Structure 1
Amino acid sequence: MPASDSSAKSTNNPLLVLGKITAILDAFSLAKPVLTLGDIREATGMPTSTVQRLVTNLTSQGFLDREEDAYRIGLRMAYWAAPATRGKEVLDVISPLLKELRDTTGETATFFKAEQHYRVCVALAETRHALRREMHVGKVLPLHAGSAGRVLLAWDQELLDSVLQDQLESITESTITSSEDLAAVVKQTRADGFAITVGEREDGASGLSAPVFDSSANLLGALTISGPTLRMPLEQCQAWVETLLETAEHMTRLVGGRFPGEGKS
């Protein structure tokens, strides 16, 4: 078959084209909602001519909206996406991502919500390792100990102010019991966008957490990876930060959420 015929067949293959379109749409994120053609080309690795052709077509069909010399996900996509989660509980939406995070890291992936001055496990995908931290849906834990607590406090000033008035109980030698120290690490958590703790609630256990937001940019909950420090030393936790943040962002997108400070599209 002549090369030109092969190229034409490849270009017209709907599955190959769909894969390229998916790659372009996947290049956009809450952290990078607006991209130039050069950004898209760099993110996808596709030739300039291919990117230009597909982006032009996607824009004409409403998949993308043009913003001066750049592009963002089209508003028409939000219209199509709405029925995907309508009528589904938030936990039904995020549970598959908990399993993906568990499978990627090999450790337990958990979702916590704040209830008064405590955090409650509302969903989890448990590690398959025999050695594991005990965790179950409905487990109630203190807010001042552990990475999930820091995240839940970092984006809820009223709750933080209230917890800082409490007597902070010592659970392990690493538990923060000073209001000043807790306020400082919570402030750092908000600046970093995530938290890592080792041994605060349970000796020999580590955790890293990131926030998930709702459509009003309010905190929905904390996504956490947790496990024995033997498998999760600080260096390993740091290596998983990007994976954690990507999953938390994906959850935020699936529930129609947005980051604080971002305008609605």
Structure 2
Amino acid sequence: MADTGVKDEPAAEREPAAEREKDPEYLLTLERGLTVLRAFNQQRPEMQLSEVAAATGLSPAVARRCLNTLVALGYVGRHGRRFLLRPEVLVFGSAYLASMNLEQVVTPHLQALRDETGDSASMATLSGHDILYLVHVSTNRHIRIGASVGTRFPAHATSLGKVMLAHEPAPALADYLAKANLTRFTERTIINREELASRLQRVREVGYDSALDELDYGIVSVAVPVRDKEGNVCASINCSTSTTRISQDELVRTRLPLLRTAARGIEASLQQWPFLMHSLARN
């Protein structure tokens, strides 16, 4: 299923911009080029130069140079006065998937979950203030908001995201709670920062999160953490389905043991693929 583009936000900065720019090894021009690539999404498949500048916060002159370079490299195309991504950009995502062996390491565990429950099963990590889907095993059942590898959703509105946020180091979580845009998607979406902090504390205590009608109506999910060999949370996995199939209480009761078994299986598999574990590390 296609990325719905619910969230439109650049990747969060792991360190302040001023600190990065002091680093002599840091290439600001590369950052700007990547920012331009990330500006295109479902809502903005084509943009004029002025729109790219507005979307990225770059000056028109800098945006123009970035675009011209990306056009020359084959990552961006030009249609009249409008710019758009070209298929060549897919090499970045496909290189990650191929080199990290996600299909071999993670997918079998999620497929087993899907086959036993009939639910969609996913694995995600944090990317800025969003979750980023790394693996998704879907069913034939239609849900209004679909997901696929590379889909991003706001972390606060998902069970996957709240599991990840709950296990962030205290400074990172405080920064998130201070800066994140807590968009309301339904009447059940948590947009109060104190309420979200309390929810995350509860997630840490019980070891899972369940979301009902938080990202969209009619969707219920439950998620658990995946840990590296040091015990740090490096990803989360969930089961997700329609509220017409099952109640939230029943979903948690029946899926939670299966998810925890799948998480242990993934953790064991990660031991055999240390480079994937290193890639998922949150530090």
Shift of 1:209: 0.3
Q: Quote the Cα distance in structure 1 between the aligned partners of 2:143 and 2:195.
A: 32
Residues 109, 223 of structure 1: 8 Å contact kept: yes
Q: 1:132 to 1:171 in 2, by over 3 A?
A: closer
Q: Quote the Cα distance in structure 1 between the aligned partners of 2:271 and 2:144.
A: 33
Residue aligning to 2:57: none
- Residue of structure 2 aligned with 1:93, choices 89, 105, 119: 105
Q: Quote the Cα distance in structure 2 between the aligned partners of 1:91 and 1:182.
A: 33
Deviation track 1:39-82 (CA, whole Å, cap 9, x = no partner) reads xxxxxxxxxxxxxxxxxxxxxxxxxxxxxxxxxxxxxxxxxxxx
Residue aligning to 2:126: 114
Q: Quote the Cα distance in structure 2 between the aligned partners of 1:133 and 1:231.
A: 16
Residue aligning to 1:57: none
Q: 1:88 to 1:204 in 2, by over 3 A?
A: closer
- Residue of structure 2 aligned with 1:164, choices 177, 182, 186: 177
Q: Any unmatched runs of 5+ in structure 1?
A: 1-86, 258-265
TM value normalised by structure 2: 0.57
Give runs of ≥4 in structure 1 deviating > 3 Å: 130-133
1:1-265 to 2 correspondence within 5 Å? Answer: 89-130=101-142, 133-157=145-169, 158-166=171-179, 167-238=181-252, 239-256=254-271
Shift of 1:249: 1.5
Q: 1:116 to 1:130 in 2, by over 3 A?
A: closer
Aligned-residue identity in percent? 26
Would you say how many aligned residue pairs link Structure 1 and Structure 2?
A: 171
Residues 148, 209 of structure 1: 8 Å contact kept: yes
Residues 133, 227 of structure 1: 8 Å contact kept: no
Residues 124, 135 of structure 2: 8 Å contact kept: yes
2:221 is paired with a residue whose SS is strand
Aligned AA (2:138): E
Q: Any unmatched runs of 5+ in structure 2?
A: 1-98, 273-283
Q: Quote the Cα distance in structure 2 between the aligned partners of 1:95 and 1:139.
A: 16
Residues 102, 135 of structure 2: 8 Å contact kept: no
Residues 157, 214 of structure 2: 8 Å contact kept: yes
1:173 is paired with a residue whose SS is coil
Residues 131, 161 of structure 2: 8 Å contact kept: yes
Shift of 1:245: 1.1
Shift of 1:131: 5.3
Shift of 1:228: 1.0
